[in-house]
Amino acid sequence: MINAILSAGITGLPELYRRGEADAVSVTRCYLDRITVLDRHIRAYNQVLADDALTAASASARRWRDGKPLSEIDGTPIAVKANIAVKGAFWHAGIGAYRDRVAQQDAECVARLRAAGAVILGTVNMHEGALGATTDNVWFGRTQNPLRDGYTAGGSSGGSAASVAGGLAAGALGSDTMGSVRIPSAYCGIVGYKPARNAISLDGVIPLSTTLDHVGVHARSLTDCALLAAHAGDRRAITPVDVAGLRLAVPDWRTRVETPDFIWKARDEAATLLLLNGMQRVASDLPTYQPGQARRLGLLVSEVEGLNAHAERLAQGEDGFSPDFLGLLRWGGRQPATRVAAAYQGLDAIRTAGTAWLEQVEAVLLPTAPQTAFQFETPVPANQADFTALADFIGCPAVAVPFGIAPDGLPLSMQVMGRDAATVLAVAACLC
Amino acid sequence: MINAILSAGITGLPELYRRGEADAVSVTRCYLDRITVLDRHIRAYNQVLADDALTAASASARRWRDGKPLSEIDGTPIAVKANIAVKGAFWHAGIGAYRDRVAQQDAECVARLRAAGAVILGTVNMHEGALGATTDNVWFGRTQNPLRDGYTAGGSSGGSAASVAGGLAAGALGSDTMGSVRIPSAYCGIVGYKPARNAISLDGVIPLSTTLDHVGVHARSLTDCALLAAHAGDRRAITPVDVAGLRLAVPDWRTRVETPDFIWKARDEAATLLLLNGMQRVASDLPTYQPGQARRLGLLVSEVEGLNAHAERLAQGEDGFSPDFLGLLRWGGRQPATRVAAAYQGLDAIRTAGTAWLEQVEAVLLPTAPQTAFQFETPVPANQADFTALADFIGCPAVAVPFGIAPDGLPLSMQVMGRDAATVLAVAACLC
């Protein structure tokens, strides 16, 4: 039964429920049992809400028995990143200083999922303050990549991706400022979708950068991801689109982002698949975009806005902020006004140029990350977000899907971005 | 003939040309003669390009005689704000430090207008660096309001508005960061239109704030204004739209912006006119928007970005920057990183909320300015941009049209903003 439940993901659960082969209680219990056994090692969860989950699952099971489910995701067990408010749960964004803070109400995205019948299994680990991509958290532990021990699950939504990849949740909510949903999804071999800016509300999410943050979703399949996103607020995610004839850009960033050849080779294979699906390849790029330079602008903005986000707490003392995290925030805060403004000006110019670019093509195909998951002890690559950050700067939808296996045996991932959510997801579906 | 030429504006010139009642040379000469006689006092122009204008006019006249005009604006004499590049003309943005700089090529908007046959009469005065709204310029003189001596023409595009209002040009290009096209248009009793962000290219415009600047147009009628905007790049400006049934918001900002009652009374009359045209009034507002607070955010961003814009020149010395202008830039530059970031965050939140608001209604009707033109010697009102800046923050189209006369005998102006240029202009047309 475990296999049937795991392979049902999100989209397949209603079939099990309708047939009476499982109900929300047995499915929730299956995930809770797996958490008990496996999460001791994976450490995806910060807090498991077993009782609440089972109560919600019972209610869901009753609705399905009565033939009155609230939605297609009624009875779907999900995990929620620790910066997104779940009423009654600890809400700390991976920062020690907030470890005792309890959310007084659900974030809007959580409330929407709950209203659709989703079962909240618990909150999951993240890189401290969402500013980083290893989820090696000094306060809440190191989340392991479920696919390989001793390797990072990525971040900042590392717990979200690991919980889904490890079969500890059917789906998860994450947040993405420069790639924090898509990068861990890539490293863990699952699907990660970052909608257009504000397509899913940020109400009830502890900000890193209010100007760049997005809420996103993780799941084991693209259809699962789209369904979850739609119920979290991005209704456009489940609109069918025919990709035949749509213009596809396959930009060559070999000289801009240091990336092994096997990743570019996989990317070219992905492009071929899209052309076989009737898309039309056009020579189109954003030639002015320098990913490394843009990343530094995004980081500076995140650091200064992060300092603003935590200013109130920091005024009471610096306990509960790691030296690494605090160092980044303080560094941002020390920069001169002109440099900060120049960062915003640079990002604004990118948004303008990027938006114009996405009027010329319906989809852009790029790798998700310039490498696969790496060992905790190796130096953290600086360029992890160099393919993902652009979609945050533009504010456009982007999705990362698993696409083959690297020579090291770890999953590869391709990313599709474009101006329209439904189109982006339909294009990515051709790769799954 | 002068009256026929002036009342032809822009839209009426082809009729004169076709009938042979005037040609581009006689029309250009008429404007140049008026400049010679009247601009000694009004001081709208920084540089009159009489020879170039007459050469261009001759070519235009020949094209009309041959029945091959380049466009409906072929042979239209216009003025260009001094921060917009006109090849071969001084290009200084009203800043003394740049007084000897000659533009090496046309700004994109100027090139487009020239390609359509427009005749560039010269460059016109502006508030120093576009940061202010009196056009009382210590380097290039004080531009008088053509309607009343000793009164400001407004700013920062004061020369643009005064040249059009004084009959010294058929139309003009200006720029608008928080209201710099619409405010002087209001004070001078003409139409001022600020398109959506980047609808008219900013290439070749000396920036104040790269994140807030817009190019806009001034003319004596709404149709003139739309035609000029369309040829400058905003093609959407001349699309016909039926306003019947469209949703109109008439927000009550009496407690938010100190404004005399006669302005609100005029605004209510304008609303009545729009309802008589079949629009549907809906109770809708942006209740979170605090104009005074938002203005300070926009000013800080403009000051720091202005400092960035002029950093290279300032590194060589501060000569040619007035103490007032430099003081504002330097003040911005001294602010801490967190305060600068908070300003961008605040404007970003306004853009998000404002964009959502403009999905709920097709048009918003507000006054253009909280007062009429004022005397140079009186204190400059701090709240001049409190009705106009929102459209710059959102990046949406907005147009100011003359609407009646205030008790002091000076023109009143109403502003229409919305998400779509053609709709905004069609709604405003009901007030003309």
**What pLDDT, in 10s, does the model give residues A184-204?**
999 999 999 999 999 999 999
Is A312 exposed, middle or buried, given 0-12, 13-18 or 19+ CB atoms closer than 10 A? exposed
pLDDT of residue B403: 98
pLDDT of residue B1: 86
Parallel, antiparallel, or unpaired: how do β-strands B77-81 and B171-176 relate?
A: parallel
Parallel, antiparallel, or unpaired: how do β-strands A144-145 and A148-152 relate?
A: antiparallel
Whether B397 maps to a domain, the answer reads: no
Contacts with A, B 242-301, CB within 8 Å: 301
Give A250's DSSP letter: -
Residues of A within 8 A of B213 (CB-CB) are: none
Whether B360 maps to a domain, the answer reads: no
> Of A197, A304, A337, which is closest to B334 when you measure between CB atoms?
A337
Whether A411 maps to a domain, the answer reads: no
Residues of chain B predicted below pLDDT 70: none
Nearest to A81 by CA among A131, A118, A47, A55: A47
Compare all CA atoms of chain A with the CA of B302 and give the residue at the minimum distance.
A341
pLDDT of residue A14: 98
**Enclosing domain of residue B106:** 2-238
In what helix (H) or strand (E) does residue B244 lie, and over which residues does it extend?
Answer: none
Q: CA of A80: how far to CAs of A88, A93, B180, in Å?
A: 13, 11, 47
Q: Is omega for the bond preceding A156 within 30 degrees of 0, making it cis?
A: yes
Compare all CA atoms of chain A with the CA of B347 and give the residue at the minimum distance.
A211
> A107-126 pLDDT, tens per residue?
999 999 999 999 999 999 99
Contact A211 B301 (CB under 8 A): no
Residues of A within 8 A of B304 (CB-CB) are: 337-338, 340-341
Distance of residue A336 Cα from the nearest chain B Cα, in angstroms: 6
> A314-331 pLDDT, tens per residue?
999 999 999 999 999 999
Whether A416 maps to a domain, the answer reads: no
Q: What is the mean pLDDT of residues A308-312?
A: 98
CA distance A94 to A83: 7
Q: Is residue A1 predicted with pLDDT exceeding 90?
A: no
In what helix (H) or strand (E) does residue B416 lie, and over which residues does it extend?
Answer: strand B411-417
Residues of A within 8 A of B333 (CB-CB) are: 336-338
pLDDT of residue B313: 98
Looking at chain A, the number of H-run helices and the number of E-run strands are: 15, 15
Residues of B within 8 A of A304 (CB-CB) are: 337-338, 340-341
Whether B216 maps to a domain, the answer reads: yes
Whether B405 maps to a domain, the answer reads: no
Which CATH number characterizes residue A106's domain?
Answer: 3.90.1300.10
Both tokens of A228, joined, read 């979850």
Whether A265 maps to a domain, the answer reads: no
> A285-295 pLDDT, tens per residue?
999 999 999 99
Domain count, chain B: 1
Distance of residue B249 Cα from the nearest chain A Cα, in angstroms: 24
Distance of residue B178 Cα from the nearest chain A Cα, in angstroms: 17
Q: CA of A258: how far to CAs of A38, A266, A379, in Å?
A: 35, 15, 15
Radius of gyration of chain B (CA): 20
pLDDT of residue A274: 98
Q: CA of A399: how far to CAs of A24, A180, A197, in Å?
A: 28, 12, 13
End-to-end CA distance of chain A: 25
CA distance A73 to A112: 11
Residue B201 near chain A (CB below 8 Å)? no
> A386-427 pLDDT, tens per residue?
999 999 999 999 999 999 999 999 999 999 999 999 999 999
> A126-159 pLDDT, tens per residue?
999 999 999 999 999 999 999 999 999 999 999 9
With pLDDT > 70 as the criterion, what percentage of chain A qualifies?
Answer: 100
> B226-246 pLDDT, tens per residue?
999 999 999 999 999 999 999
Whether B106 maps to a domain, the answer reads: yes
Q: Which of A180, A209, A302, A322 is catalytic?
A: A180
